Amino acid sequence: MEKKHIERKNLSIAPCKAACPAGIDVPRYIRHIRKDEFDEALAVIREKIPFPAICGYACYSPCELNCISQHFGDPIAIRALKRTAAEMGGELWKINLSIAPATQKKVAIVGSGPSGLTAGYYLATLGHEVNVYEALDVPGGMMRVGIPAYRLPREALDQEIEDIKAIGVGIQTGQRVESADALLKKGYDAVYLACGVHQGMTLGIPGDDLPGVVDGISFLRKVNAGEPVDMQGRVAIVGGGNTAVDAARSAIRLGVKEVTVVYRRTDAEMTAWEEEVNSALLEGATINYLTIPTQVTATDGGLEVTFTRMELGEPDDSGRPRPIPIAGSEFNQVFDHVIAAIGQMPVGTQAMGIALAKGDFIQVDPETLATDTPGVFAGGDIVTGPASIIDAIAYGRGAAISIDRHLGGSGIIDQELTTPEKEVLVEDYAAETESRQPIPCIPRADRTCSFETVELGFTEASALAEASRCRDCDARQFEVALFGDGCKECSYCTEVCSQEVFGPADSFNEKGYRPMEVKHQERCVGCQLCFYACPDFSIDVREVS
């Protein structure tokens, strides 16, 4: 088997790392797992996020969507490997974590979700006094009240929150903050608003206020809090995002026998994660695509919902095809409950005394996350609208950097929690010949009668086997040859290349085309998508030593 050593300084940025909003060095921690070094793998992850287990359970994995191995088979199970590192790794990261001397600066954070707690974690390591105010009676934000336990076990959530508290972050629950200015007047030097969006939107149709019609966030909050939920019979869930799918899977676990998700576009446009949608279907939910409710009427038999069939038109502002009603396609169907999971909106931002954007979201400087009030910053869902845990973490990191600079610091939040790589040992590819390790799950029958965690996770042996499939694309060096005489300026190579290797030439060729040319040879990771996309076979990609 061919082996070669590549100096760390010569590594390129792997697409998986580039796709991670928090910038986790994915190939590096996978290499540690491959060497059975789970302590080191966890430390690498911890260098960028304070929630490795939570992300190992509930991240939507943009890294996997950009994994080079998917072009030769299956992507590496990066999320599952992260969970394995969190479960099998030790306390090396704690040993190497340093807490700066106290700066005598105080920071108030509103909201104990992933964004607020991430910011608090990093600010505390920099020596600032951090207090988090949470309106709910328990910390965790939407991680706790929005994500069901079958996807994110509460033990993992509780432990990682305890890790954050252990470094000095204070969390006060049951404390609703009405004004950012009031916190500044209490003596805080900076405020970070990360309170999320906890209000579900209504359907906006006649009858959407009838008994039996609820919003998805309110439903999930009651379920996740363990409160009694009277739901049985036939349930319609309107929406195509993760809230809709979580509501469907939760309703099934409450004993509902007929769960129907209604979505106005097709499966290709659903924002819910594909694996969650597939799990909902496996567990017994059905999905009616290209369908929208137009009215809800109370009848003796329940709630009669009038639906209209849709067809897709030109893209709208979201970039997805606009759903258009089909004349004469109306039909009625009776349900016992209707759950609206079509979006979420902020609550209480109008009273904060700061500039707002459309929809009462908070307006910030995109670079610094600063609001129009000096010393007040904002990030996460309260700025962007509902997003993901890893996106919220990225906002928390950005807020910590900006707030530290505002307080007179350097804004450097990252620490080395394990020994840096000096070189990488690159071996022959395994991903082309070895299949992705299946992630074991509890039986289907056990899923639908409890909120027990569905995924069981990798064993040590399966984690080592999966990590061995990584292609180390950040360490491999490739040569790209583009034959300009054959290029017809179609630009397909630039469209498929995630590394921006190609760009238009500065001049025209003799055939009158302005051909593409290789602009950044060093960025190529060998996916060969450009080779397959080129209709004229004008591109060649080969690995070089």
The Cα 57–Cα 457 span in angstroms is 9
The Cα 49–Cα 90 span in angstroms is 16
Q: β-strands 516-518, 502-504: how paired?
A: antiparallel
Contact 462, 40 (CB under 8 A): no
Instruction: Give me the count of residues in the chain.
Output: 545
Q: β-strands 258-262, 286-288: how paired?
A: parallel
Domain 98-197+346-406 and domain 477-544 have a common topology: no
Residue with tokens 């700025």: 383
SS3 472: coil
Residue 16 sits at φ, ψ, to 5 deg, of -65, -45
The Cα 514–Cα 532 span in angstroms is 21
The Cα 143–Cα 326 span in angstroms is 39
Determine the topology of domain 477-544 in CATH.
Answer: Alpha-Beta Plaits (3.30.70)
Give per-residue pLDDT as tens, 515-536: 888 998 888 888 888 888 888 7
Cα atoms found within 13 Å of the Cα of residue 322, Cβ hemisphere only: 7
Q: Give the helix, strand, coil percentages of the chain, each rounded to 5.
A: 35, 20, 45
Domain ranges of the chain: 3-95+416-467, 98-197+346-406, 199-344, 477-544
The Cα 379–Cα 72 span in angstroms is 38
Q: Token digits for 139? A: 């910390």
Q: Is residue 537 packed enough to be buried (19+ CB in 10 Å), middle (13-18) or exposed (0-12)? A: exposed
The Cα 92–Cα 39 span in angstroms is 6
Q: Which CATH class is domain 3-95+416-467?
A: mainly alpha
Residue 14 sits at φ, ψ, to 5 deg, of -65, 145
Please compute Rg for the chain using Cα positions: 25
Q: Hey, what amino acid is at 506? A: D
Q: Hey, what amino acid is at 502? A: F
Residue with tokens 């290349």: 497
The pLDDT, as a whole number, for residue 423 is 87
What is the number of helices (H) and of strands (E) in the chain? Answer: 20, 22
The pLDDT, as a whole number, for residue 1 is 41
Q: Hey, what amino acid is at 141? A: G
Give per-residue pLDDT as tens, 111-134: 999 999 999 999 999 999 999 999
Q: Which secondary structure element, helix H or strand E, spans residue 393, and what is its range? A: helix 389-406
The Cα 324–Cα 314 span in angstroms is 9
The pLDDT, as a whole number, for residue 505 is 85
Determine the topology of domain 98-197+346-406 in CATH.
Answer: FAD/NAD(P)-binding domain (3.50.50)
The Cα 487–Cα 538 span in angstroms is 6
The Cα 34–Cα 12 span in angstroms is 20
Contact 449, 253 (CB under 8 A): yes
Q: Across-strand partners of 288?
A: 262
The Cα 376–Cα 229 span in angstroms is 39
Q: Hey, what amino acid is at 445? A: A
Cβ neighbours of residue 176 under 8 Å, at least 6 residues apart? 133, 135, 348
What CATH number was assigned to the domain covering residues 199-344? 3.50.50.60
> Nearest CA to 143 among 96, 187, 101, 111?
111
- Residue spans of beta strands (DSSP E) within 135-224: 170-173, 190-193, 199-200, 213-215
Cβ neighbours of residue 439 under 8 Å, at least 6 residues apart? 77, 80, 455, 456, 457, 458
- Tell me how far the alpha carbon of residue 395 is from its chain's centroid: 12
Per-residue pLDDT 10s for the chain (545 aa) are 456 666 666 677 888 999 999 999 999 999 999 999 999 999 999 999 999 999 999 999 999 999 988 888 899 999 999 999 999 999 999 999 999 999 999 999 999 999 999 999 999 999 999 999 999 999 999 999 999 999 999 999 999 999 999 999 999 999 999 999 999 999 999 999 999 999 999 999 999 999 999 999 999 999 999 999 989 999 999 999 999 999 999 999 999 999 999 999 999 999 999 999 999 999 999 999 999 999 999 999 899 999 999 999 999 888 889 999 999 999 999 999 999 999 999 998 998 889 999 999 999 999 999 999 999 999 999 999 999 999 999 999 999 999 999 999 999 999 999 999 988 888 776 656 678 999 999 999 999 999 999 999 999 999 999 999 999 988 888 889 887 666 777 888 888 887 889 998 888 877 777 888 899 888 888 888 888 888 878 898 988 86
Contact 148, 451 (CB under 8 A): yes
> Nearest CA to 261 among 252, 212, 253?
252
> Nearest CA to 524 among 543, 545, 501, 503?
501
Cα atoms found within 13 Å of the Cα of residue 341, Cβ hemisphere only: 30
